[in-house]
Amino acid sequence: MGMFLGKIMVETPKYTVVEKGTDYEVREYSSWVVAETAYDPSKVKGGRDGGFMFLASFIGAFGKAENSKPGEEGNGGSEKIAMTAPVITSESSGEKIAMTAPVITKENESVGKLTTMQFVLPSSYTIENVPKPTDSRVIVKEMPGRMLGVITFSGSATDSLTKQKLGILESALKGAGYKITGDHMLARYNDPFTPWFLRTNEVMVPVEKEDS
């Protein structure tokens, strides 16, 4: 992801700001196309970030992902796709369901905790013209436009810091009259080589305004 002195230099999803408060921002996002993979972080190299190479291989950023089978690398058109931001991850316990929203899991104690990772693709791609993955671990889909509550923070997005920021965001949104309608997502805007103090992160939750 392109970065210069902390400034994000790559394309990001388009949105308009609906409302802004001390510890939150509510945004209305347009639809966008993502490449997505879901996996058990305890069973892949890299843990929570274990899906990165699957997706990077799809966009042609770093070559073939580990443990790829013949024909399971890149995309059908062997097309290199520009890197954008953010990389979005979400976690919950559940079974995989139809991939029509950022949260792709339902509660089901018989299935372990899954991590979902998404690369946002350039706005020039639609679901009709995006190259098709050849790796069965990767899918492409269109994310519908939606309203998200967001808190932005810098530093390393550790689990503890993310949880802390989520708590602040949820409290602020509820105080402003918003109802949280789904699980949270972590959006990271920088590559792992960016110094921690220059990194930009966001916790996002889908919201709707409470009835007056």
Instruction: Domain ranges for the chain, please list them.
Output: 3-30+145-209, 32-142
Q: Torsion over CA of 84, 205, 126 and 120, rounded to 10 degrees?
A: 20
Residue type, position 43, single letter: K
Per-residue confidence (pLDDT) for residue 29, from 0 to 100 = 96
Half-sphere exposure at residue 35, Cβ-oriented, CA atoms within 13 angstroms: 31
Is the pLDDT at 183 greater than 50? The verdict is: yes
Domain 3-30+145-209, classified CATH 3.30.1360, yes or no: no
pLDDT band at 18 (very low <50, low <70, confident <90, very high): very high
Least confident range of 4-8, 39-43, 130-134: 4-8
pTM of this prediction? 0.79
Residue 101, pLDDT score:
29
Q: How does pLDDT run across 48-90, given as a tens digit for each residue?
A: 888 988 898 888 854 444 445 544 455 555 567 877 888 999 9
Distances (CA, A) of 48 to 8, 28, 54, 114, 156: 23, 28, 13, 9, 14
Asked if residue 102 has pLDDT above 50, the reply is: no
pLDDT at 105 over 60: no
Burial class (CB in 10 A: 0-12, 13-18, 19+), 172: middle
